[in-house]
Structure formats: structure tokens, C-alpha cells
Amino acid sequence: MSEQQQAAISRFPVPELSEMPEDIRDRILAVQEKAGFVPNVFLVLAHRPDEFRAFFAYHDALMDKPGNLTQAEREMIVVATSNLNQCQYCVVAHGAILRVRAKDPLIADQVAANYRKADITERQKAMLDFAVKVSMQAFAVSEEDFATLKRHGFDEDDIWDITGIVSFFGLSNRMANVTSMRPNDEFYSLGRQAR
Amino acid sequence: MSEQQQAAISRFPVPELSEMPEDIRDRILAVQEKAGFVPNVFLVLAHRPDEFRAFFAYHDALMDKPGNLTQAEREMIVVATSNLNQCQYCVVAHGAILRVRAKDPLIADQVAANYRKADITERQKAMLDFAVKVSMQAFAVSEEDFATLKRHGFDEDDIWDITGIVSFFGLSNRMANVTSMRPNDEFYSLGRQAR
Amino acid sequence: MSEQQQAAISRFPVPELSEMPEDIRDRILAVQEKAGFVPNVFLVLAHRPDEFRAFFAYHDALMDKPGNLTQAEREMIVVATSNLNQCQYCVVAHGAILRVRAKDPLIADQVAANYRKADITERQKAMLDFAVKVSMQAFAVSEEDFATLKRHGFDEDDIWDITGIVSFFGLSNRMANVTSMRPNDEFYSLGRQAR
Amino acid sequence: MSEQQQAAISRFPVPELSEMPEDIRDRILAVQEKAGFVPNVFLVLAHRPDEFRAFFAYHDALMDKPGNLTQAEREMIVVATSNLNQCQYCVVAHGAILRVRAKDPLIADQVAANYRKADITERQKAMLDFAVKVSMQAFAVSEEDFATLKRHGFDEDDIWDITGIVSFFGLSNRMANVTSMRPNDEFYSLGRQAR
Amino acid sequence: MSEQQQAAISRFPVPELSEMPEDIRDRILAVQEKAGFVPNVFLVLAHRPDEFRAFFAYHDALMDKPGNLTQAEREMIVVATSNLNQCQYCVVAHGAILRVRAKDPLIADQVAANYRKADITERQKAMLDFAVKVSMQAFAVSEEDFATLKRHGFDEDDIWDITGIVSFFGLSNRMANVTSMRPNDEFYSLGRQAR
Amino acid sequence: MSEQQQAAISRFPVPELSEMPEDIRDRILAVQEKAGFVPNVFLVLAHRPDEFRAFFAYHDALMDKPGNLTQAEREMIVVATSNLNQCQYCVVAHGAILRVRAKDPLIADQVAANYRKADITERQKAMLDFAVKVSMQAFAVSEEDFATLKRHGFDEDDIWDITGIVSFFGLSNRMANVTSMRPNDEFYSLGRQAR
């Protein structure tokens, strides 16, 4: 009855849970258990099981592992670059995750529209300046950019992490735009309650 | 105590209500009465009373007058072009107004990130295609663009209206970015309740 | 008989003087009295009286008020940014006003084509560098830009003025391009006599 | 005493007439005889005699030879593309020549600012659309572009001519910008008398 | 002794084979066995074993699986988009693979510089037009683009494949540029022998 | 029998040697004698004898004269800027000449794809940074750019030379793209033998 039930979540075929390979179904059921709903990216990419597996393995290697970047900082990178790539799915879905991770109901909309004006640290703005440069003109990244990041306290591994996240979500943005991947209605309100 | 109380709403001086010319103070009090808070654009622009008066006269001439474009459609134009101009204030504030006008908690985030994937009509997408062209390369607008809009049912006055709104908010976007105009916290959650 | 008599000054309807609200007609007659002709922007925008009033109130608040920027400097800002926006009306009309204000027959064509090579001061070039940044990427304006302007002797109010002028004429450029507003023949030769 | 006497015409050395090779001096004297002054491009490029010779040989092969494009049309191409390249020398100098060739005091400023709004034919606008494409993204020129031109009556040789003129003045624009080539004061007023 | 022995293959640390996890070492040894050398991408990414595994799983899911796109066509997509992203590693390495797959010593340099002039079919040019659009402005991909591809004989799965390849190598291009990944000397001459 | 024999070398008519003016035929025969084949640019431009003469006079004045820039450095400039202009002919032909001049089989592909990662000196990278700026935004070249070049040891004449080469090959790139000038098969393998 909701609009979403009628609205397609992909312009490509989306398999039924029952048709999916077991490992993919298991991952989806685990996500549903944890989040209370299945983010559409799981269903849309299940159209291609091998790509699904690689995609989420890559995602987890960058977003769920230990490291100096906080989980909120990783999501800021996703939100800022995805908005410049005009990726509706990633801005809405990762905006929600950013609000939850940062326990801040305002931060995602701030970072999406113009991170330079967001309630974040100068260090985080430097991180996003670099992220945007990797997204838009990685060919021109130079040792000066590395030096700027180091002045803000980032080390070599942090810089690799930022780069990896930008690069991976650049892939994700392009897939989402071409598949017309629809953000779940649930994402829009997640994490908007006052702290 | 809230973060906003400490955060500056403008990088330029903001006058006290008591220092403002009477007509400006009256307008601000009327807005506060109606909305329950004073949108920061009123306070930031009160630094320049004559510009304040012209700005809101222009705003009202475009946004509050009768016409074929619904109020929600006018706000869609603001949200879509302001996001491309990376104007945090306008995306957040007019996103809220769009949700309220359209009675749709999802529409603003959809239109901001990529209106081509939003739950809006083909006619509205054509309107936003034109709005983006006026914003980004008005010099190339041609009779073909007018013909496309007319095929979607827009008339000459509607086209003027779209153009006026894009042009006025292009002004607003630049002022907001240079003044670092801060969106009120209240906007973020406005209109997000389910229909 | 002149070409202009036949050439449309707007692709939208232009009202007769007799049909206009009295305040608008009065303003137009006053301009004609002073300038010797009616700049077409007055006639084209008279199609929408409320927008006309707001437009010229805004114009006057920025261009005719006291302030540190000379009137010639304000016109330089208009000419430089309008040429990048490919706005024929504004380049031709404000080019004429710039020549008159600066008492310099060469300056407008110099500033329009490439202000970096114009016979203006380094301070004025810094002003135009900032103006172009506000016009093209206001989202990236930063405290560094403010500091550069201050090194050249501009104060906070001057920076607001520059920003206001760029923003207002960005509006004007878009309106002129979509309406195909035609510059009056008179503008082309105004102020071209040697000093 | 005039400002120009003091203003450098090039940021590179400019040879005295007496130091120039005879053929170059002769060409310059002939131009002076004909035009009444020596356009600075002759003096600036005389710094490099071999390049001077090739430059003007190329110029003459494109601009002074017979062909279907009128001389005014050739100058329109120069003016429209040079303004997009922000070349002050070429806009001012060839704007003057365009006014003279077209016997029209308005045409150069119109074509420079936005040729789509100039008092020229649809055929000439199609020519300039193509010229701008060659200047900005020649890599994407396709048989469709050729077909469009042919529908407007251009033949294969005309298309080569347009391309040659755009390409040659692209060279000229870059040389003029890097040398800070100064347009002669004489150009600004040339051809501005009513028809 | 060769220059490459001294030249770094990454600006990040590169692990010794003996330090790598067994599965990664095995994959590298298998590649070496097959190709005669180890492409540097394997060594550079081994710095991050989990990302290495996901990267090559994704690569294989797109490049080594059955499908309508020939292996040469997949490499054309990589070469054309990587050159626009100015990714030296990908242009050189996948240029070599393209020559080998297509058994054509000229094709890679043609496609890299301007695929519109390459010795490929109209269908392949349409494929690359779409690939470039996905790479540069995926947000604007529309049903019209799908229809164009279908007129050239591509089906829905082919379109997903093109999109996946562009998106994955967009990731790869950004990683290679930020790591300063160096192409192996061996790639430059591979496949250059006449057919 | 080879593909090239059938493939057109220009979308415009190409004259027979016997039809050409004697000086042009002589130049072509001399080139053939020296190089072992006739680079297609000679045949394509022979369609217009006067432009041919000016083109090669300009070419020789910049590329074959004495000066501080080595011949390899001049070719680097051509290759780097031609790839950004997506000129297949110039990248392939001058890539070959660069390999020969530099006696380095790798350098051309490195410089074409991303000169910032090429095996060249910091001084040469500064030269190419400037070359790219002249090619893409000559209007913004400033004394700061001259100062940077001088810190790297370039003098005023070197800067003119770089500018001339960029400007001339910008012309060449546009002509080659519009004529669909085909690189000779011979260029692809020239200079690829190990040092």
C-alpha cells in the first residue's frame, strides 16, 4: 500500500529471496535482523551474485574494520562525495548511517549540501577536501595533498583509507545511478531524533 | 545551551531585534508568530535593511503569488538548484518547506540529491531540467527549451516564473554561501512525519 | 526605421507605458528624463510589476548607495561577471555605464574580455578575482579569500557589497538571457569619446 | 603622454622597427600605411621573426582568400571564440574589424557577449555553434555536426574554413594571453559610427 | 639495474611475497606463471589483503565471466575511461591486454586517445559513448541512453556489464592515481607485433 | 591489403602527389626519404597548399630551431596537451617522435596518460604543468606562473617556446580532430625497441 511497495527499487530485475544463493540470502537475513529492514542495495545487487559478494567484501574491508578514522568520519566521506556525484541512494542511506554513527541529527544534511559549513572539525574538513579531490581529479593528487593531511594528523594508512572509501563509493554511486536504485523509505527518518 | 545558540548564524554582524528598523522588526515578529521560530535568513540579511526589504519583496513576488506552479513545485526548483550550488542554508530550509508544502516527508531529500530519480511527475522533471539549465547555462537557453516545456503543459508565464525563481535563489545561494548563513536547527526535522 | 524598432526587446510581452502601474511609469519617465532613453530592462521587467519593484529596489540598494567601492568599481564587477555568464544585455548596458563612471572609453571592453589585462589597479583585480569566485563557485569561498581582500584594503562591508553585486547581477544575467533582453542601441556608443 | 604610451604592449621584448628583418619591417610599414597605425600583434610577434612570418602567412591564407564565407563572417568566428577564450586583444581588435567589415556598429559587442542573441542570421548562428564546438571540444565533432552545417547551406570547404579560423585564432588567443598583448587604443572606437 | 628496479611501484609500502597471506601469494604466483611477470597492481594492493581479495573478486566477476561483450570490448571500456581519468597504470596495462585480446597492435592507442576515431564498429562506439557518460555523469543516464544501446543490439545484461566495468575501473583509476601505481615495463611492448 | 590502405586518412579530399604544387611535393618527398614514409598530416593538409606552407613553416620555427628546450622536451609538450585535447593523430605521431628523441620506449605512453607520474624530472613536470595551463586556461596565466618556471631554470625565451608549442599544437589538434586525420600505422611501433 505504501508508495514504496509500488515503486521499483531497480530498473533491473530483482530476485526473490528464495531464488538467491544461500550465502547471499543469509547475509540479507542477517542485515534485516539487525537493521529491521533490508537496504535496497542488497536486493538490487543480488541480481549478480558474484558482484554482490565482491561488493560487500570490499565494503566491509573499508567500512567495518578498525582504523583511525571513526565510523562517522567514514560516512562523512561517503555523504560528501555521493552528493557531488548526485547519487540519491548513497546520500539518503549513508546520510542515515552518518546521523546514527555521529549521534547527530543535523550532520548528514550539513555535510551533503556543503561540508565546508558543517559542524565538524577543521581536521574533518581537510579530510573531505582531499576526498573531493580524489573523487573529482585523482590524477592531480600530489605530495602536497599528503603533507596537508599529515599536518592535520592523518597518517599514511588513514590516507589510504580515505582514498579507498572515496573510490569504492564512486563505484557504488555509478551503479546506483544507472540501476536507479531506490533508497528505502526507512532511511529518511533514521537518526533524526534529538540527541 | 543548544549548539545553535553558540554557533554563529552569519560571519557578518547580526543586529539585535531592538536595533532593527520597525518594518523589518515587524516582519520578523510576524514570521516568528507564524512559524514558531525566526529563519536565520531574516536575521542575517537584517544587517542591510534596504537589501532585506528588496530581497523579501522579490521573494514574495515569486513564491507567494498566485500562478500555475504549485507552491511545492516552486520549492522543488529551489531545492534542486540550491543543491547544485552547494548552498546548505537553502537546501535545508527550503527542503523543509518543500516537505510541508508537498505533505511528503521524502521528497526534499530525493529532489536535492537527484531529482531525476524523485517521486515526481515527468512534467516536474522537465521543469527541473529547465531550472538546472537556467542556473548553470542560461546563455544557451533556446526556443527548443521553451517548446519542450510547452509540450509538458507549461505556458509562457510559468516559464517566466521558473526562471525568476531560479534566478532569485541563485542570488540567495551566493549570499548564503559567502555569509556562511546557518540553517536553523528547526528546519531539519520539519515535515518529516509520515503523511 | 531603425533596426531596433523592429527587433523585439523581449521574447515575453512588453506592456505599453499607459498600461503600467503609476509608480512604474513614473520611474520609467524619470529614467528617460535623465538618460535620454529608457533602458530596455525597465520595459522588459514591467511585464511583472511586483518583480520590477523588487528588482530596482535591490539594484538601488547596491549600486546607488554610499560605500567604499566607487561607482566605477561596482560596474566593473557587473561587467566582468556578466561576460562570463554570456549576458549580452548586461555587458553592453553596464559596459556603457562603466565607461561613463570611470570616464575611460577603453575600460569596459578590457574588463569584459579579461580583467586581468585591464588598466585597473591590483586592488581592483583582487576585487574581480573574488567576484568571479562568488559567481562561479561561491560554495568554496573561504576565510582565505576574505584575508586576501583585506590585504588589498577591503573591509567587511566592502566584501558584502561585492558579494551583493555579483549575486544580484547573477539574477539579472539569467533573467536577461531567458527573456532575450535586447540592449538599447544607445548603449553601444555611450562614453566612448576620449577623456 | 597617453596611458598607452606608458603601458607595455607585451610582457616580452618588442624590437625596434630598425632592428627587424627587412621583410617584416616592410609588412609592418605596409599595414601602417593602410590602417593608419600598427596593430600591436605585429610588433609583439616580431620578437620571433620566423614565427611572425608563419603566423601572418597562416592568417592571410584563412582570412584574406576568396571563399563562401564573407569577411564579416570570418571575423564573427574570431570574436565569438576569442571571447570564450577570454582573449582581450583578439576581442578588441577583431571586434573592430568585424564592425568595419559588416558596416554595423553593434555587431561585435553582440557577438562577443552572446552570439545567440546577435542580429545575425540563423545560418550564421549555426556557423558559430560549430565554431564554439571546435574551439571547446573538437574531439567530439561528428558527422551530425557536418550534416547540420550542410542543412544551413555550408559546403565541405566552408567547414574546413570555419575549422581553420577557429584553430588559428585558438593559437592566437593563447599567444596573446601569455604575452599580455595589449590592444591598440585605436581599435576600441573603430567602426562605431552609425551606418 | 633497469630504471624500474629503482623506481617505486607505489608510494605506499609494498609487502614482500613471503610476508603475504598464503591465498594472496598463491594468486600472485599463479599470475606470474601465466603472464611471465607480476603486474604491479597485485603487489601494490597486497598492502591491504582484504581489499586485495575484494578487488580481484570484483575484477574477475566482471572481466573473466561469460557474457555478450567480448573480452576485447571489456578492455576497450577500461582503456577509454581510464585515459579520461588520466590513470597511467590502467591505460598502459589494459592497453596491453586490449592489444592481446583484440589481436590488434593499433587499437589500444587509438581507443585511449579518441575512441571516436578508432578502427572499431559503430556499435562499439555507442558502447564507449555510454561508458564515458557513466564515468563522467552517471547521474544523467536516462532511458534514452538505454534505448540507444538497444538499437545497437545491447541487452539489459550487457548494459549492466558496461556499467559495472566502468564503475569498477573508476575505483581502480582513483586507487592507482593516489598510490602512484607504476605500470610494469613489460606492458608497453606487449601485443605490439603485427597480426 | 592492410586495413590502412582502405581506411581514409582524412574526411576531406586528399590530393595525389602529382596534383600538388611543386614545393609541397618536394617537401613530402624529402620527408618520405628521411622517415621512410609520409606522415599523413602532410597529405591531409596538402588539400590547402597555402595553409600547408604556413603550418609547416610554423612547425619548423618552433620544433626544429635551436633553443634550451631539448627536442624531447618539445615533444613531451605536444604529447601531454594533445592527449587532453583527445587528438589521436598527435598523440600517436608525436608519441613516436618523443620515444625516438628521448631514446626511451616508455616515455610517450607515460606522458600521454599522466605526465605527473612519468619518468621525467621535476623541472619537466613544471614545464608540463605550465603547458597544460596554457592549453586549458591561458587567460589565467600570471606572473606567478612565470616565477615558478624561473625557479625551475627556465628563462623568458623558454617560456615563449613552451607557449608557442602548446598554441601551435592546439591548432593542430583541432584540425586533426575535425579532419579525422588518421595516424600512419608506422608510428605505433616506432621507437619501442629497448634502449
Q: Distance of CA D128 to CAs B43, D61, E185, Å?
A: 47, 20, 46
* Residue to test with chain D: of C78, C109, C173, C177, most D Cβ within 10 A: C109
- Better-predicted residue by pLDDT, B193 or A156: A156
Q: Would you state the torsion angle of the CA atoms of residues D111, D116, D118, D124, taken in this order, to the nearest 10 degrees?
A: 80
Residue-wise DSSP of F41-95: HHHHHTTSHHHHHHHHHHHHHHHSS-SSS-HHHHHHHHHHHHHHTT-HHHHHHHH
Residue of B nearest to C89 (CA): B139
Cell of E101: 585480446
B122, B152 Cβ separation under 8 angstroms: yes
F160, D12 Cβ separation under 8 angstroms: yes
From E193's Cα to the closest Cα of chain A, the distance in A is 31
| Chain C: partners with 3+ C-beta pairs within 8 Å | A, B, D, F
Contacts of B134 in chain C (CB under 8 A): 174, 177-178
Number of H helices, E strands in chain A: 11, 0
Only one residue has cell 573508476, namely E170
Cell of F52: 600547408
Cell of B82: 540550491
Q: Name which of C163, C173, C177 is nearest B175 (Cβ-Cβ).
A: C163
Flag if F88 and E106 touch (Cβ within 8 Å). no
Smallest CA-to-CA distance from F167 within F142, F130, F113 is with F130
E113, D139 Cβ separation under 8 angstroms: no
B80, B115 Cβ separation under 8 angstroms: yes
pLDDT at B194 over 80: no
* Residue to test with chain A: of F116, F129, F136, F148, most A Cβ within 10 A: F116
Residue of C nearest to B84 (CA): C139
Smallest CA-to-CA distance from D73 within D102, D100, D95, D93 is with D102
* B105-129 mean pLDDT: 98
Q: Distance of CA D5 to CAs C116, D2, D185, F163, Å?
A: 19, 5, 10, 27
pLDDT at B135 over 70: yes
pLDDT of the residue at E6: 56
pLDDT digits (tens), chain A, 195 positions: 344 445 799 999 999 999 999 999 999 999 999 999 999 999 999 999 999 999 999 999 999 989 999 999 999 999 999 999 999 999 999 999 999 999 999 999 999 999 999 999 999 999 999 999 999 999 999 999 999 999 999 999 999 999 999 999 999 999 999 999 999 999 999 999 865
Cell of A108: 548528514
Residue of A nearest to B195 (CA): A2
Residue B143, number of CB atoms within 10 A of its CB:
9
DSSP C190: T
E149, E159 Cβ separation under 8 angstroms: yes
- State the burial class of residue A171 (Cβ atoms within 10 Å of its Cβ: 0-12, 13-18, 19+): buried
Please indicate whether chains A and D are in contact, defined as at least 3 beta carbon pairs under 8 Å.
no
Contacts of A116 in chain C (CB under 8 A): 139-140, 142
CA distance F24 to F27: 5
pLDDT of the residue at E195: 52
Which domains are assigned to chain D?
16-63 (1.20.5.810), 71-189 (1.20.1290.10)
Q: Express each pLDDT in F1-42 by its tens digit.
A: 344 445 899 999 999 999 999 999 999 999 999 999 999 999
* B88-94 mean pLDDT: 98
pLDDT of the residue at E194: 64
CA distance A128 to A88: 19
Cell of B37: 521560530
Amino acid at D104: D
Which of the four pLDDT bands, split at 50, 70 and 90, describes residue C194? low
Low-confidence stretches of chain E (pLDDT < 50) are: 1-5
Residue of A nearest to C142 (CA): A116
Cell of C139: 560554495
From A141's Cα to the closest Cα of chain F, the distance in A is 9
From A186's Cα to the closest Cα of chain E, the distance in A is 23
Residue of B nearest to E140 (CA): B116
* C143-151 mean pLDDT: 98
Contacts of F165 in chain D (CB under 8 A): none
Amino acid at C175: M
Q: Express each pLDDT in E135-179 by its tens digit.
A: 999 999 999 999 999 999 999 999 999 999 999 999 999 999 999
- b/e map of F9-33 (b: 16 or more CB within 10 Å)? bbbbebbeeeebeeebbebbeebee
Q: Distance of CA B48 to CAs C78, C163, F167, Å?
A: 20, 13, 48
Flag if B177 and A88 touch (Cβ within 8 Å). no
Cα end-to-end span (Å), chain D: 32
| Chain A: partners with 3+ C-beta pairs within 8 Å | B, C, E, F
Cell of F137: 586556461
pLDDT of the residue at A4: 43
Which of the four pLDDT bands, split at 50, 70 and 90, describes residue B6? low
* Residue to test with chain D: of E116, E128, E129, most D Cβ within 10 A: E116
Contacts of B83 in chain A (CB under 8 A): 83, 112-113
CA distance C143 to C125: 18
pLDDT of the residue at F6: 56
CA distance A65 to B135: 42
Low-confidence stretches of chain D (pLDDT < 50) are: 1-5
Only one residue has cell 612547425, namely F59
Smallest CA-to-CA distance from B179 within C161, C170, C57 is with C161
Q: Distance of CA A34 to CAs A15, A25, A70, A95, B99, Å?
A: 21, 14, 21, 18, 29
Only one residue has cell 531529500, namely B109
Complex ipTM tops 0.90: yes
CA distance E57 to E51: 10
pLDDT at B4 over 70: no
Q: Express each pLDDT in C60-86 by its tens digit.
A: 999 998 999 999 999 999 999 999 999
| Chain F: partners with 3+ C-beta pairs within 8 Å | A, C, D, E
pLDDT of the residue at E4: 43
Q: Name which of B50, B138, B179 is nearest C61 (Cβ-Cβ).
A: B50
